[in-house]
Structure 1
Amino acid sequence: MRVRDRVVVVTGASSGIGRVTAEAFARKGCAVVLAARRAEALQAAARDCERRRGARALAVPTDVTDAGAVEDLARRAVERFGRIDVWVNAAAVTVFGSFEEVPLEDFRKVLDVNVMGYVHGARAALRVMREQDHGTLVNVSSVVGVVSQPYSHAYGMSQHAVRALGAGLRQELALEGVKGVHVCTVLPATIDTPFFEHAANYTGRKAVAMPPVYSPERVAHAIVDLVRVPRREVVVGPTGRSMVLESRMAPGMTERMMARQVDRTHLSRKEPAPATQGNLHVPTPGTGAAHGGWGGRRHTAVRRLGTAAALAGAAAGARRLMRTPAP
């Protein structure tokens, strides 16, 4: 599918991956419909999109846990732009804490947003796309949907559920002979967004982005590519791809490795943190932000420079060997 001039709905568009994804489609000349709970942040994100090649943007404050609100989001998108070509489910929340200490109301909220929010989005999107006989639904999951983590049980469960949702929908569409509608799942590794800062936390330790950290632009690029060439699942980040592969070959070892990694680098051993419900029940005030200050862009650039230097060194070594006369 040609990306230019598409109509794209993005949930979770007030910050992080959702916000950057909306901007990426706006740069392609697409009309974007932005949805999230925070009206102020959503309007700011819409203005940013409109600065990209004069793209058309519509901000629709939406709580994805409300099925009626999500149906209204789809209705307003169609009324304004005539169709929905792409729907990106990217609204997500999380809570850190030991299994027995996380309040059940917080546990349920994570599942309600991350699972039922995607169900509501998928239903609203597919109803329109079936009628059009074309469209791409993109569900943003996580590598945690393949390799679970300690202290974030609700989030891990939700990401496994998102993968299962995508697989089930693809099978159903195939059995019904629907060829113009695609369902894709994106599984990012650790991404530089405000996600961790806004998380609910009952561990007593500050939640930080677990290295290596990648930029949200990398995820947005993968999502745009899925509209061009739809695929079942795409893992974003070389480390994420390695983890997924290792989990298939040595699941027990991968679980132990992930447990140690989370304990050492995902929850700070130096900075304490008070118990908080984060943004689970009340949205974080303000105009929102795309990045979390974890250095995703810088770390990505450093890794690329290191790779380039290594390749250049290998090439130089190969040239020297070729010039060395045979004994």
Structure 2
Amino acid sequence: MTDIDTERDTRVAVITGASSGIGRETALRYGERHARLVLAARSDGALREVAEECRRAGASDVIVAPTDISDADQVEEMFDLAVQRFGRIDVAAQCAAITAFGRFEDLPAEVFDAIIRTNLLGAANVARSALTRFQPRGAGQLVLVGSLLGVTAVPYQSAYVASKFAICGLVRALRQENRHLPGVRVHGIYPGPVDTPVYASAGNYLEQQTPRVPPTSDAPGTIAAAIVRAAEKSSSTERQVGWLNLPAIATYRLVPGVFDAVIGPLIRRVMFTAQSSADSAGNVFEPPATGRA
């Protein structure tokens, strides 16, 4: 455990997507630092489990706020609750995301649209609610989790790729707009593949292929540590996280023809099993029964 995990932290952190994966690990990191937490996701049951884990880890106080971030009103209510309880918000980390696999034309339009609403419009809702509370104080750290797939397009996740490309642009625009406020910082964290429930719970429209965690995946704790470190910075930052990211970006930009020729077969080989599965929206519209997504 590093110093950043063990030192006392009295800040208030709002974490979306906190029911599993990167969001859960981020919540636990702040819990270990004795922060006060507001945990948001769609699943009340899973959030309560994570909240109890955070309390055991050392969190000073924890609020559970079931929230669908694609709904701007729900996000505003969640931020209002945080301010009413703790008086301020110091960190907002947007970790929620959903995806579906399949060729673009095979994805139902409503599935494509729902992914854009959560991943892009949901992130924008969180950013808006956070910044409108940070700016009057002149202080606050906003962290938006994007993806390697926000700078390198790949097949079979068109909605996810489109949403994450947009997140990169949103982060840069928000950095520019808040440069005059020295205490307000905007950070982009861009992971490569991460070992989270997103693969098992994703929508799937690839005939006779089932998504699986790629062997190149990082642990979610690696990304959570990067989020916590970013929120300590005195200037806005953007960071690629994962050993695969820089080689992939270099190949994508320098030899795009080679990248486009090999990426499809590579993804089919490492990210899918041959196990047959029926078309499914996965957790696109509702969290799974276990709540861990």
Instruction: State whether TM-score is above 0.5.
Output: yes
Read off the aligned partner of 1:210 and give its amino acid letter: P
Read off the aligned partner of 1:157 and give its amino acid letter: A
Q: What is the alpha-carbon root mean square deviation over aligned residues?
A: 1.6
- Aligned equivalents of 2:250, 2:39: Cα separation in 1: 34
Aligned with 2:270 (options 265, 268, 275): 265
CA deviation profile, 1:268-315 (whole Å, cap 9, x unmatched): 2x21221111011121122537xxxxxxxxxxxxxxxxxxxxxxxxxx
Q: Which runs of 5+ in 2 are unaligned?
A: none
Does 1:227 pair with 2:231? yes
Aligned with 1:153 (options 148, 153, 158): 158
- What is residue 206 of structure 1 aligned with on the other side? 210
Q: Is the 8 A contact 2:33 2:59 kept in 1?
A: no
CA deviation profile, 1:198-220 (whole Å, cap 9, x unmatched): 00001021001223111000000
TM (norm. structure 1) is 0.84
Q: Is the 8 A contact 1:38 1:285 kept in 2?
A: no
Q: Is the 8 A contact 1:34 1:46 kept in 2?
A: yes
- What is residue 190 of structure 2 aligned with on the other side? 187
Aligned with 2:289 (options 268, 285, 292): 285
CA deviation profile, 1:4-50 (whole Å, cap 9, x unmatched): 11110011101111111111111111111100110000111111111
- List 4+ stretches of structure 1 deviating above 4 A: none
How many residue pairs align between the two structures? 286
Does 1:217 pair with 2:211? no
- Aligned equivalents of 1:111, 1:132: Cα separation in 2: 31
- What is residue 255 of structure 2 aligned with on the other side? 250
Which moves more between the two structures, 143-152 or 51-60? 51-60
Secondary structure of 2:231's partner? Answer: helix
- Aligned equivalents of 1:221, 1:9: Cα separation in 2: 16
Q: Is the 8 A contact 1:7 1:31 kept in 2?
A: yes
- Aligned equivalents of 1:171, 1:250: Cα separation in 2: 31
Matching of residues 13-162 of structure 1 within 5 Å? 13-162=18-167
Does 1:169 pair with 2:162? no
Q: Structure 1 residues 137, 198: closer, same or farther in 2, change over 3 A?
A: same
Deviation at 1:257, TM superposition (A): 3.2
- What is residue 200 of structure 2 aligned with on the other side? 197
Q: Is the 8 A contact 1:97 1:203 kept in 2?
A: yes
Deviation at 1:193, TM superposition (A): 0.7
